[in-house]
Amino acid sequence: MIIICEECGKKYRIDPANIRGKAASFKCRACAHVIVVSKPAPPKSDPRPTLESVTAAVDDSSPAGAADSGPTTGMTQRRKKGLGLRSKMFFLFMLVPLILMSGASLLYLWQLESMSDLLTLESSKFVNQLAEEKIADISASVATQCKQYLLSHSKLVREKFNDDIGFKTLAVQKVGLTGYTALYELPDSKGVWRTWAHPNSKIIGIDMSKLKKPLGQNFAGFWKVYIGVKAGKRSQGYYTWQEKDGQFRDKFMVCTPVSGTRFVVAATTYMDEFSGPVKRMQARAKVLTDRARLTAWAALGLTLLLIGLSVSIYGHRLASKIKSLTDVADRISIGELGIEVKTTSKDEIGELAEAIARMQDSIRLSIERLRRRR
């Protein structure tokens, strides 16, 4: 049971079992006022809690088991402690922004890489298309020039094509950096394909199918384009060529028939001579994309660090102020009405402190009115 001194308002918790007889008395430790305590009647069976079941501060040194006020449970039992304010602020201001910002960063990087890949791919296609058209134009132009020369030199035989400086100058021209044009003839009655104008004089007049051995597995692609003019139409396509150093590179060849003759002009060159700048651009774009990815992740990490520090510092200060006010309210609840409510906040925390101070003054005035009345 709780006993309040009528003079000073100090509270004591008395165990009724320690009262011998119908009443007991003791002096208040604060003001020396004599307090008389009557032994309460045995409580009726009632499942509801009574005032005597409420815990308060115990003064073991007081007569009849009187106790000083101290921290204890009040009329309402404390709830089980859950997540603290700082933990909730961490999840709200750290976890949620982390998920949202990470998602946004990943989406941004994905779009950046997709745009970079699309630009480089389309650029590569465009450059290859231009290169193919340029090679085809060269092949058609050389075919026209060779036709005009042959018409004006009707006595020039095919075996002398590569020796005739004028004709060879027209039939063998430069394509790109290392490419060239050449002139060959449709198959004879024995089905043999022969070349009559070429930068390499060793293959002049030979059976071109014999190149299968030195070209190896690359011969099939070359031969398919080479003989694709059987129907009198232009033939073009890609094939792989092996360099002397063993390196494999892609070539593009366009074969254009010389109208009115049995001859065909082939124009061929390495495609990387045209697509090289595009590949360098692709490599540069990849470097820039990787740099942008690192920058985005660094910015995200720095942002989260600043948010974490801000939330941690502010949450710590806010939780400390609330804990301080909670301690003050607990001490007021057990009778320490003289405690000072300190706060410098001008926000809702300050308003809460002012409300506690007003509650403290109200309790003090209520006790004084009760004392005067008695």
For residue 217, the model assigns a pLDDT of 83
Q: Which DSSP helix (H) or strand (E) runs through 179?
A: strand 179-185
Q: Which one-letter amino acid corresponds to residue 98?
A: L
* Rg of the chain taking only CA atoms, in angstroms: 51
Same domain, 250 and 134: yes
Separation of alpha carbons 142 and 146, rounded Å: 6
Same domain, 136 and 200: yes
Q: Are 218 and 240 in contact (CB under 8 A)?
A: yes
For residue 322, the model assigns a pLDDT of 83
Residue 317 lies in a domain: no
175: its two tokens: 């394509």
For residue 80, the model assigns a pLDDT of 54
183-193 as b/e: b if 16+ CB within 10 A: bbbebeeeeeb
HSE (side-chain half, CA atoms, 13 Å) at 205: 9
Residue 179 lies in a domain: yes
Residue 38 lies in a domain: yes
Q: Are 256 and 171 in contact (CB under 8 A)?
A: no
Residue 240 lies in a domain: yes
Domain end among 223, 258, 278:
278
Total number of domains constituting the chain:
2
268 pairs with which residues across the strands? 180, 253
Same domain, 128 and 207: yes
Residue 92 lies in a domain: no
Separation of alpha carbons 52 and 298, rounded Å: 62
Same domain, 44 and 135: no
Domain end among 278, 311, 336:
278
Domain end among 245, 278, 311:
278
142: its two tokens: 């050389």
Same domain, 119 and 246: yes
Separation of alpha carbons 42 and 36, rounded Å: 19
Close Cβ partners of 34 (under 8 Å, ≥ 6 residues apart) = 25, 26, 27, 28
Same domain, 144 and 232: yes
Q: Are 21 and 39 in contact (CB under 8 A)?
A: yes
To the nearest 10 degrees (0 to 180), the angle between helices 272-333 and 348-373 is 10
Q: Identify the residue whose tokens are 């008695």.
A: 374
For residue 152, the model assigns a pLDDT of 93
Same domain, 49 and 168: no
For residue 196, the model assigns a pLDDT of 96
Residue-range definition of the domain harbouring residue 43: 2-65
Question: Which of left, alpha, beta for 231 (phi over 0: left; psi -120 to 50: alpha)?
Answer: alpha
* Average pLDDT by stretches of 10, the chain with 374 residues: 76 78 78 78 51 36 38 46 64 73 78 77 82 93 95 92 94 92 94 94 92 85 91 89 80 94 94 77 78 82 81 79 84 80 77 85 85 79
194 pairs with which residues across the strands? 185
Residue 154 lies in a domain: yes
Tell me whether strands 235-242 and 194-197 are parallel, antiparallel or unpaired.
unpaired
Rounded to whole angstroms, the maximal C-alpha distance in the chain is 153
The whole-model pTM stands at 0.52
Separation of alpha carbons 113 and 106, rounded Å: 10
- Kindly state the DSSP code that residue 216 receives in the 8-state scheme: G
Q: Which CATH number does the domain housing residue 193 bear?
A: 3.30.450.20
Same domain, 57 and 118: no
Which DSSP string corresponds to 290-320?
Answer: HHHHHHHHHHHHHHHHHHHHHHHHHHHHHHH
Which DSSP string corresponds to 316-345?
Answer: HHHHHHHHHHHHHHHHHHTT-TT-------
Same domain, 117 and 185: yes
235 pairs with which residues across the strands? 255
Q: Identify the residue whose tokens are 């499942």.
A: 47
Residue 118 lies in a domain: yes
Same domain, 58 and 126: no
Residue 252 lies in a domain: yes
Residues in the chain: 374
Same domain, 271 and 199: yes
Same domain, 204 and 138: yes
